[in-house]
Amino acid sequence: MGNEKLPKRSENYSEWYNELVKRADLAENSSVRGCMVIKPYGYSIWEKMQQQLDKMFKDTGHTNAYFPLFIPKSFFSKEASHVDGFAKECAVVTHYRLKNAPDGSIIVDPDAKLEEELIVRPTSETIIWNTYKNWIQSYRDLPLLINQWANVVRWEMRTRLFLRTAEFLWQEGHTAHATADEAVAETLQMLEVYAEFAETYLGVPVIKGVKPAHERFAGAIDTYCIEGLMQDGKALQAGTSHFLGQNFAKAFDVKFTNKDNKIEYAWATSWGVSTRLMGALIMAHSDDDGLVLPPNLAPIQVVIVPIYKADSREKVIEKCQVIKKNLQKLGIAVKLDDRDNQSAGFKFAEYELKGVPLRLALGARDLENNTIEIARRDTKEKMSISQEGLEAKIQTLLGEIQQNIFNKALAFRDSHITKVETYAEFKDVLENKTGFVSAHWDGTTETADKIKDETKATIRCIPMNNPQESGKCIFTGNPSKERVLFAKAY
Amino acid sequence: MGNEKLPKRSENYSEWYNELVKRADLAENSSVRGCMVIKPYGYSIWEKMQQQLDKMFKDTGHTNAYFPLFIPKSFFSKEASHVDGFAKECAVVTHYRLKNAPDGSIIVDPDAKLEEELIVRPTSETIIWNTYKNWIQSYRDLPLLINQWANVVRWEMRTRLFLRTAEFLWQEGHTAHATADEAVAETLQMLEVYAEFAETYLGVPVIKGVKPAHERFAGAIDTYCIEGLMQDGKALQAGTSHFLGQNFAKAFDVKFTNKDNKIEYAWATSWGVSTRLMGALIMAHSDDDGLVLPPNLAPIQVVIVPIYKADSREKVIEKCQVIKKNLQKLGIAVKLDDRDNQSAGFKFAEYELKGVPLRLALGARDLENNTIEIARRDTKEKMSISQEGLEAKIQTLLGEIQQNIFNKALAFRDSHITKVETYAEFKDVLENKTGFVSAHWDGTTETADKIKDETKATIRCIPMNNPQESGKCIFTGNPSKERVLFAKAY
């Protein structure tokens, strides 16, 4: 590890991604089709995401709970549009016992067939709203603000590590409210939470918007999303927040007595982000040498590599330990790599591959001169500086790196939103410039489908506060009242 | 909630437990057979357990990772004894798609049958060791110290909330080592971590020991456990740590080059605790009025109930808010319940039911006298004290309560370990006094099985550092070299 070169992004972006995910010890494919193993280094980044998101959910009044992994098959039929979206490609549990066959092999016991098949949850609206029925009687029980951290399974045919896997980890918020207005406000609040998290922690600028009807979550009245742009010019949906109206309350008979003593159905939202965020993080910032991690999510923010010969080893490492302790006191995640069996060069390449934001190297000469070498992962800048005030410099630098990573992604994104007036231009931008294309659309699913068939581009969203501007649909020439954002997407 | 009385422990312990779990908002049965819903209050206790355990695992050098939910059926056949223990009662995924039937209903698509069935993990040794094969080549890759937080499924026929459910949440540590000694040391280290957690956080004294051969984990060389005692005199296994020898390394071909440049199989451990700990917590301390939570795991450590009439409301609540802020500054989890639509008496009963360690009540007269009423959940003591130095008093009290809860459980446990010499005595103690029974046993599985059939008591463990003492088996009269601990158990 760390010595072989990665494929280049410019030559094979897809191979570069796959190799990077494996070589940086983030994840790998398992022996179970479509299911990944999240390796310790990758998982430690996911943990940092979880911790921050969990804090943001709790700060906005939510609590966590846990609902069953399995959902009775019949639950999916209860919300008409939900079933089409979710109950198709899924893992179906049909039996509850294995037994030994006469030849000694293990077989499914035909006598242990379930009366009703169980579906491994692809999302939990149905089982949760079936539970809420017993929790909600009065407006005093509302709002109910619950989040769940869980694994879910969707039987994807073509999978890619983090981006699209059969099993993935996520959080799903499910809230119930007394009024439509409150539910819409919650939906938008969580969209803001996701956008803030994406920009401040992932360092990925996102466009907030609403999906066109045909891209809505199955069962939603409105689906809001945040869309990021990857370095290959493809969009990635990084989170969604749904206003579900009274659809699930009606399907599962969740009624309450309101303040006027009248019975009505509760209003719902749901919202989620997943280990897909790992894919966004990797693809938005990393380069041909490896991962580039924003300090706010880096499990190791600073690595110290001692450079020594046998006679200077003890003194050099001793000094490194002092520096480590001083940085830890400031809450900085620091690692001292004092392995004797690897060269400094090997270590440098390893931490570059793993995206550690700052690397310190200290040798015998530095001890004499009271200096230290400091290297930034994001810009590759390297400089020898005085050890004087090192901790403060590092704190400042970590902040600068976080900001620089975001700014770079923002500049790339902003230079990749292109207004077009014709379908020819549209196709040309998609093929050559890539990125988001802002274009007029006649508002019909039919047109969106045809454009998708011909170009693979989909409508990513109608941005929030979208300027109203009359124009003509690039595809049909029919009248349009606003532009929407198209892109090829993950 | 909070006004109906619970069943009494002395009259129906089992009903008392079931009702308490539901009424204190800890968990409830779901519509899926054997699967529970962990409600927000229950889950917040589990989160506190997770945080503390996770810290202890990390402090001992472990990192988290994530492995697939599904395990190919064939994996279970690879470790001979493991398959008998685990591959029998389990959830089997046989299909990956549903479709609409001609009549509009949803059915399993017969064309979407999996070539090899997938088992929802009952435990992850097989899938993890199959992965370790690629991670371990040299002694330099060892030790590999990994933990996973996950849901697992075991198709239990008789389920009880937290104690035995088809799906439960747990952590499973899986480590690989270069030598047997190191693996045994790890096994024992994690047993100590569990014991420390149980005693210091749960407030449950535990006996550390090793299981007799017939009670070992399927695939283990040795299974160590911690055993607690519940208030009804039944034992509860609260955690296990297994030395797996080279069994899984051999089954999954995990070899490495040792320091002498020789190829050998890696040595394994696994260890786990689960949401079963919630059951232990509830049953060890709670009383006929509800839950009694040790402060170290209480989501709300102090609740403040303002007592007011219309004219004093504002001033009373204002003072309560000041007290709340001062306590929060000290890191104490405090809730101010200023709901107008519930009486103080209702609130008192509610927090009693929910086991909040300390309750403060403050009224208009307290404002005048600079006093406050403070009530301990564990001893039911109530006193009016000066507001002077309140925060320090509360900190001290929380520590005292934690200690008192443990001491009470310890005294109960210690008075319920009974030495017996005859089988008649043995049965009498089990029936009438209950608790652990320390008795001589001839060391055979056959005898243990017969005793179990006749009395329902099992050998909980052979305690660590067990005194060697010759005697005669209470059942067969055959020679025995040490006493073992029997009990009826959850």
Domain of B445, in residue numbers: 417-487
B266 within some domain: yes
Q: Is the pLDDT of residue B101 over 60?
A: yes
pLDDT in tens, B263-296: 999 999 999 999 999 999 999 999 999 999 999 9
Which positions in chain A touch B151 (Cβ < 8 Å)?
Answer: 69, 150-151
Strands (E), A377-447: 382-386, 417-419, 436-440
Residues A475, A477, A478: CA angle, nearest 5 degrees: 110
Query: For the residues B477-485, what does the mean pLDDT come to?
Result: 98
Nearest to A63 among B36, B40, B69 (CB): B40
Number of helices followed by number of strands (H, E) in chain B: 14, 25
Q: Do B37 and A69 count as a contact with CB atoms less than 8 A apart?
A: no
Q: d(Cα A112, Cα A48) in Å, to the nearest integer?
A: 42
Set of chain B residues whose Cβ sits within 8 Å of the Cβ of A91: 70, 93, 95-96, 118
Window 12-41 of B, Cβ < 8 Å to A: 28, 30-32, 35-40
In a domain? residue A333: yes
Residue with the larger pLDDT of the pair A79 and B443: B443
In this complex, which of A35, A46, A87 lies closest to B68 when CB atoms are compared?
A35
Residues B210-218, mean pLDDT to the nearest whole number: 96
pLDDT at A2: 45
pLDDT of res. B411: 98
B64 and A47 within 8 Å at the Cβ level: the answer is yes
Is B98 in contact with A105 (Cβ distance < 8 A)?
no
Chain B residue with minimum CA distance to A165: B68
**Cβ–Cβ under 8 Å, residues B134 and B68:** no
Q: What is the pLDDT of residues A430-452, one digit of tens each?
A: 999 999 999 999 999 999 999 99
Contact (CB, 8 A) for A224 and A186:
no
Tokens of B55: 């810290």
CATH number at residue B185: 3.30.930.10
A133-137, A183-187, A312-316, B80-84 — which is least confidently predicted? Answer: B80-84
Average pLDDT over residues A351-365: 98
- Please tell me if residue B333 touches chain A, with a CB cutoff of 8 Å: no
Q: Kindly determine whether residue A36 and residue B68, on different chains, have CB atoms separated by under 8 Å.
A: yes
Cα–Cα distance between A480 and A468 in angstroms, integer? 9
Query: Residue A421: which CATH number?
Result: 3.30.110.30
Residue B86 DSSP SS3: helix
> Which residues 147-206 of chain A have a CB within 8 Å of chain B?
150-151, 153, 155, 167, 169
A183 near A177, Cβ under 8 Å?
Answer: yes
Cα B8 versus chain centre, distance: 24
Question: Can you give the pLDDT at residue B465?
Answer: 96
CA distance linking residue B418 with residue A222, whole number of Å: 66
Q: Which residues of A touch B132 (CB under 8 A)?
A: none
Model pLDDT, residue B461: 98
In terms of Cα–Cα distance, which of A396, A313, A322, A297 is closest to A41? A297
Kindly tell me if the per-residue pLDDT of B136 is higher than 50.
yes
Contact assignment for A31 to B130 by CB distance below 8 Å: yes
CB contact under 8 A, A120 and B69: yes
Q: How far apart are CA B143 and CA B138, in angstroms?
A: 10
Tell me the average pLDDT across A135-159.
Answer: 96
Grade residue B87 by pLDDT with cuts at 50, 70 and 90: low
For residue range B114-133, what is the model confidence (pLDDT) as tens digits?
999 999 999 999 999 999 99
In chain B, the percentage of residues whose pLDDT exceeds 70 is: 99
**B98's tokens:** 């549903």
- Cβ-based contacts of B43 with chain A (< 8 Å): 63-66
Residue A47 lies in a domain: yes
Query: Which of B25, B31, B140, B174 to substitute to test the interface with A, most A CBs within 10 Å?
Result: B31
In this prediction, residue B3 carries a pLDDT of 55
Do residues A268 and A374 both lie within one domain?
Answer: no
Query: Do B432 and B378 belong to one domain?
Result: no
Task: In whole angstroms, give the CA distance from residue B153 to residue B9.
Answer: 30
Question: pLDDT (tens digit, 9 = 90+) per residue, B355-385?
Answer: 999 999 999 999 999 999 999 999 999 999 9
Element housing B485 (H / E): strand B479-487
Q: What local confidence, expressed as pLDDT, does residue B1 receive?
A: 46
**Cross-chain residue pair B68–A32, CB shorter than 8 Å:** yes
Report whether pLDDT(A243) > 60.
yes
Whole-number Cα distances in Å, A485 to A17, A214, A216, A461, B377: 25, 15, 15, 6, 59
pLDDT for residue A408: 98
Residues A119, A18 within the same domain = yes
Chosen domain end from B353, B386, B412: B412
Q: Which chain A residues contact residue B47 at CB under 8 A? A: 64
How far away is chain B from the Cα of A440, in angstroms, using its nearest Cα? Answer: 37
Is residue B23 within 8 Å of B35, Cβ to Cβ?
no
Q: How far apart (Å, rounded) are the C-alpha atoms in residues A404 and A293?
A: 11
Question: Are B34 and B177 within one domain?
Answer: yes
B83 occurs within a structural domain: no
**Same domain for A156 and A24:** yes
pLDDT above 90: residue A472:
yes
Residues of B in contact with A274 (CB under 8 A): none
DSSP-H helix ranges across B138-261: 180-197, 247-251
pLDDT at B105: 83
Residue B4 has pLDDT above 80, yes or no: no
Q: Is B195 contained in some domain?
A: yes
Biggest CA pair distance of chain B = 84
**Domain end point (choices B285, B304, B338):** B285
Q: Determine which of B22, B28, B70 to mutate to test the interface with A (most A C-beta atoms within 10 Å).
A: B70
Q: How confident is the model at residue A101 (pLDDT cuts 50, 70, 90)?
A: confident
Instruction: Give how far the C-alpha of residue A194 lies from the chain's centroid of Cα atoms, to the nearest Å.
Output: 10
Distances (CA, A) of A236 to A187, A225, B348, B351: 20, 10, 51, 46
Q: What is residue A1's predicted lDDT score, i.e. its pLDDT?
A: 46
Side-chain-side CA neighbours of A457 within 13 Å: the count stands at 25
Q: Hey, how many other C-beta atoms are within 10 angstroms of the C-beta on B18?
A: 16
Tell me how far apart the alpha carbons of residues A424 and A406 are, in angstroms, rounded to a whole number: 32
Distance CA B373, CA B356 (A): 15
Q: Are residues A424 and A390 in the same domain?
A: no
Interface test mutation site (partner B, options A55, A69, A113, A142, max chain B beta carbons within 10 A): A69
**Residue B40: which H helix or E strand, with range?**
helix B40-59
A448 in the same domain as A477? yes
Q: Determine the distance from the C-alpha atom of residue B105 to the mean position of all C-alpha atoms in its chain, rounded to a whole number.
A: 42
What pTM does this model have?
A: 0.97
Per-residue pLDDT of A257-278, as tens digits, reads: 999 999 999 999 999 999 999 9
Q: What distance in Å separates the CA atoms of residue A375 and residue B300, rounded to the nearest whole number?
A: 46
In terms of domains, do B263 and B368 share one?
no
Is the CB of residue A410 less than 8 Å away from at least one CB of chain B?
A: no
Last residue of a domain, one of B365, B384, B412: B412
Q: Are residues B56 and B161 in the same domain?
A: yes
- B318: domain CATH number is 3.40.50.800
Question: Is B181 among the domain residues?
Answer: yes
Burial of residue B392 (CB within 10 Å: 0-12, 13-18, 19+) is exposed
In a domain, A411, yes or no: no
From the list B63, B69, B130, which residue is nearest A44 (CB)? Answer: B63
Predicted confidence at residue B255, as pLDDT, reads 98
Total domain count for chain A? 3
Res A172: pLDDT: 98
Total Cβ atoms within 10 A of residue B51: 11
Q: Is B342 on the interface with A (CB under 8 A)?
A: no
Q: Determine, yes or no, domain membership for B407.
A: yes
Q: Which of A32, A71, A77, A170 to mutate to test the interface with B (most CBs of B within 10 A)?
A: A32
Partner-chain contact B68 A40, CB within 8 Å: no
Considering the domain architecture, whether residues B247 and B393 belong to the same structural domain is answered as: no
Average pLDDT, chain B: 96
Cβ-defined contact of B31 to A130 (cutoff 8 Å): yes
Instruction: Please report the pLDDT score of residue A3 as a whole number.
Output: 56
> Which band of pLDDT confidence, cut at 50, 70 and 90, is reported for residue A4?
confident
| B75, B94, B151 member nearest A92 (Cβ) | B94
Q: Are residues A393 and A441 in the same domain?
A: no
For residues A48 and A128, state if they share a domain. yes
